[in-house]
Amino acid sequence: MIEDYKEYEQFYNIFSNGLKSDNLSHAYMFELDDSINIDQFEKDLCKMILNDKDITSQIDSNNYPNIKILRPDGQFIKKEQILSLQEDFGKESFDNKKKIYIIEDASKLNVSSANTMLKFLEEPEGDIVALLFTSNKYNVINTIKSRCLNISMKKSNLIDLTEDSYSLKLVSLIEKYKKNSLIYLYDFISQNDLERNEYKKILDEMILIYDDLIHVVKNISNKCFNYNYDKFEYDNDINMLIKKMKAINNNKDYLKVNINIKSLFDRIIYEIYGGD
């Protein structure tokens, strides 16, 4: 079954070794590629971990009692959901097999729910495996992320990025002028008569560029874009790069409510740098 995921090289190498040596981590965080079917991937992971054909049908029908899935209740995963999970998993396994809990969007753990689960995540009582999922690991609270083995499910195929890319130009303005960049961003918006749907793609690409810059600063090779950032002027403070990525991600949905594009960048820059 793990052979089905061989194209996700990091996952294949780490997880297959853990299965072969019977030395799985107690907690994994998977940063998912858009091509991943999360429901199928969850089931496949559970089958690999439990390794028992007799319970395959129960896993497929979401009826295996040793697997619990937490999803956001409203905007966040709440403290009460974590407490309920801990109570359930405090009981003995009915068949002496591993227990698995899944958090589908780990970025929706707020400070309260994250603090509640820290000890449970770091020092689980009994044979428990945590599987956390996110589309962007930099949106996950650091105390949670640091207690998991982080695995990228991003494909290695690089996207071409050129000097003429609007997304690169906007990032370069923010990086060069920082909190004074709004006037230059306004000028760019005025000079380039782009459709709103084009800004959705641009903002998504800007997030990926910041992801690349974080990888460059950390000297990690798996980038999103085929682009040489050596001569690109950018802030090498990882926390600030993460903050910029989050600010864009937090505000991009305002495109859906017909916000003025200049006002959208107002919100992004204010979230990064605050007021004067």
Q: What is the DSSP string of 119-162?
A: HHHHS-SSSEEEEEEES-GGGS-HHHHTTSEEEEE--SPPEE--
The whole-model pTM stands at 0.64
Residue 182 has a pLDDT of 96
Residue 93 has a pLDDT of 67
Instruction: Please identify which residue in the block is written with the tokens 């820059």.
Output: 269
Q: Could you tell me the residue ranges of all domains in the chain?
A: 2-153, 159-273
CATH of domain 159-273: 1.20.272
Residue 213 has a pLDDT of 93
Measured between alpha carbons, how far is 81 from 79 in angstroms, rounded to an integer? 5
Measured between alpha carbons, how far is 45 from 8 in angstroms, rounded to an integer? 14
Residue 12 has a pLDDT of 83
Class of domain 2-153: alpha beta
Element (H, E) at 192: none
- pLDDT per residue, tens digit, the chain (276 aa), is 788 888 887 788 888 888 887 888 889 999 988 788 999 999 999 999 999 999 999 999 999 999 999 999 888 999 999 999 988 888 776 677 889 999 999 999 999 999 999 888 887 777 899 999 998 888 898 889 888 888 888 765 567 888 899 999 999 999 999 999 999 999 999 999 888 888 988 998 999 899 889 988 988 766 778 888 988 999 899 999 999 999 998 898 888 888 899 999 999 999 999 865
